[in-house]
Structure 1
Amino acid sequence: MTVTTPAHAGETAGSTRGLPSLGPEGTRLLRLLDDTFESWGVTAGARPMTMPPLLPAADLAKLDYYDNFPHQAVLAAPLDLEGRLTTPFDGEHGQWPAAALEPAGLGLPSASCYAVYLDHRGTRVADDTLVTVCSWCFRKETHYEGMRRQLGFRMREIVAIGAREHAETHLGDFTARIQAFAAALDLPLRREAACDPFFDKGGSKALLQRLTPVKHEFLYEDLAIASVNTHRNFFGDRCDITLESTGGPAFTSCVAFGLERWLSALTRRHGGWQAATEAVLAANARLRADASGAAGPVI
């Protein structure tokens, strides 16, 4: 049996195009990680949901997505049945020319949470609403590298929608969960403030963001594998999500896990698929034992 080494983990024929495949060992570890992160959300009261892989480009545009993240944006368009006859497939470059496509009315989101906010558009929510989803996400990058940087990847998110205190507490609770999990895994993570431009450029909210970071990432070496993000009431305003208690706009926050990036970090740290899998199983068992013997909240 061939054992995949960390240097080759995820380095399949599609790796340089950002579309690597996973064999049985990698698939098992990915499912184990996703089950772990999903269980954290469910234990906290999150409703598991499944979101569509594509979103209307018009909806993403209303969230300023194409203004804030044009460098990451990936769009989908059907073939123009007449245009393809005059502008055929470019075999030399392996692509359809734009003239052979209909206008791109669909976007491939770069994060799982966009679909959650759009799904709750125009609704009134409880102050302590939680949702967890795992979706395919897509990002155009300057280059692709194994499991570290991909065109298409899976992201598990646990999303809070509700009162300001609920959104803030959500991030504090899950920061502690991530740190405890990393310690049990013997996976040294560095927490750093980052910046996502969720707010209008040049406005008071943009200034507030610069003064108070809205995003913190957890990095293994130079790779961000998880993040905690607050959006304040941006998505509540844009999607008309209101609170049952006050009728005001909901606040939102999310915790995100890039599953393939976790695979990269764990195999680099522990030496291969089997050792990484055993480390996750042992960490989960340790945290369950610690929680069962503690008077505090379950981690």
Structure 2
Amino acid sequence: MTVTTPASVGEPEAAAAGGARGLPTLGPEATRLLRLLDDTFEGWGVAAGARPMTMPPLLPAADLARLDYYDNFPHQAVVAAPLDLERRATTPFDTDTGRFPTAALEPAALGLPSASCYAVYLAHQGTRVADDTLVTVCSWCFRKETHYEGMRRQLGFRMREVVAIGGREHAENHLAAFTARVHAFAEALDLPLRKEAACDPFFDKGGSKALLQRLTPVKHEFLYEDLAIASVNTHRNFFGERCAITLESTGGPAFTSCVAFGLERWLSALTRRHGGWDAATRAVLDANARLRAGASGAAGPVI
């Protein structure tokens, strides 16, 4: 059976069923490109010495609360709760609204994180780490939005991150190195990006660290047109302190930083720039080949 999709008359991302609900379905071409991109970004991390890890899709809400997540990002927060089997008998699923009544649910003790790196810090809590620790993960992330739009703005999406945990210099060098990688990749893709300072309120808004954040931004985004498709983020020693992650060298709290890639947003940017799935996929393959060829003839890390 042949299925005709809106991709034939508009942007390829219009073919993502469920996009208006923030839960798009990707077809074979989109899936191939998403995997190619994720392999590319994971490869950057592994080449830099990152350990690949797999994180759970949900985290204890109590752990996220301890990281001030629900104070800093209440507008994005999504929580999960199982059915209360006893009360469900008297409060069944409401077919008119398409929802379970609140009374039919147990307390929501699980959180769906909005970024992959939270699970990394929680997985390392109470541990001592080498000053140059790197981890790479790809996780489902969830964000409540005022509206959803194709692959640009989603309720559920995939985020590849490369996370540095260790000394201050290591965290800072990590962001510098991956900023260069993103710029080189974008140039090879003929994908014009601009880097802009953004703000994530990781710190108590009334504290000294919040003032420091306003003076020295902790987050920079890489935007294609009006869409942020990647970011580099430094958290200083916030997560090291909150999660009791200490350095083997000094015993002090670890510094952390991360680079994040919203995979579906990259699909949107590349198909808008290059006009379709096949052209976007060829662009990524060609960019990777050119960067490997260039790196093989010059000193420095392979991008």
In the alignment, residue 32 of structure 1 is paired with which amino acid? Answer: L
* Native 8 Å contact 2:17 2:26 kept in 1: no
Shift of 1:93: 1.1
1:184 shift after superposition: 0.2
1:22 aligns with 2:26: yes
Distance in 2 between residues matched to 1:298 and 1:281, nearest whole Å: 15
Partner letter of residue 227 of structure 1? S
| Cα distance between partner residues in 2 of 1:224 and 1:190 | 9
Q: How well do the aligned residues superpose, as a CA RMSD in angstroms?
A: 1.1
Aligned with 1:292 (options 281, 291, 296): 296
Describe the SS at the equivalent of 1:38: helix
Q: Report SS of the residue matched to 1:249.
A: coil
Superposition pairs of residues 1-299 of structure 1, within 5 angstroms: 4=7, 7-299=11-303
Give the AA of the match of 1:267. Answer: T
- Partner Cα distance (2:235, 2:211) in 1: 14
Pair 1:10–1:57, CA change in 2 (3 A): farther
CA distance in 2, matches of 1:130, 1:10: 37
SS at match of 1:216: strand
User: What is the CA distance between 1:49 and its match in structure 2?
Assistant: 0.2
**TM norm structure 2:** 0.97
1:83 Cα offset (Å): 1.5
Secondary structure at the aligned position of 1:255 is classed as strand
5+ long unaligned stretches in structure 2? none
Aligned-pair CA distance for 1:85: 1.4
Distance, in Å, in 2 between the alignment partners of 1:12 and 1:234 is: 38
Residue identity matched to 1:124: R
Displacement of 1:96 in angstroms is 0.6
Q: Matches of 2:153 and 2:205 in 1, distance apart?
A: 28
**1:298 Cα deviation (Å)?**
2.0
For 1:149-174, what per-residue CA distance to the aligned partner results, in whole angstroms no more than 9, with x for missing partners? 00000000000000000000000000
Shift of 1:112: 0.2
Output the CA distance in 2 between the equivalents of 1:90 and 1:23: 31
Please give the secondary structure, in 2, of the residue aligned with 1:161.
strand
- Secondary structure of the structure 2 residue equivalent to 1:9: helix
Runs of at least 4 residues off by over 6 Å: none
User: SS of the residue aligned with 1:82?
Assistant: helix
1:13 is displaced (CA, Å) by 3.3
Structure 1, gaps ≥5 residues long: none
Provide the rounded CA distance (Å) in 2 between the counterparts of 1:297 and 1:60.
36
Q: How big is the shift at 1:100?
A: 0.7
Instruction: Give the AA of the match of 2:60.
Output: P
Residues 67-100 of structure 1 deviation map (CA, whole Å, 9 limit, x = unaligned): 0000000000000112211211111111111111
Q: Secondary structure of the residue that 2:11 maps to in structure 1?
A: helix
Q: 1:282 is matched by which residue type in structure 2? A: D
The AA in structure 2 aligned to 1:239 is C
For residues 194 and 35 of structure 1, what CA distance do their matches in structure 2 show? Answer: 27
Moved more, 3-12 or 220-229: 3-12
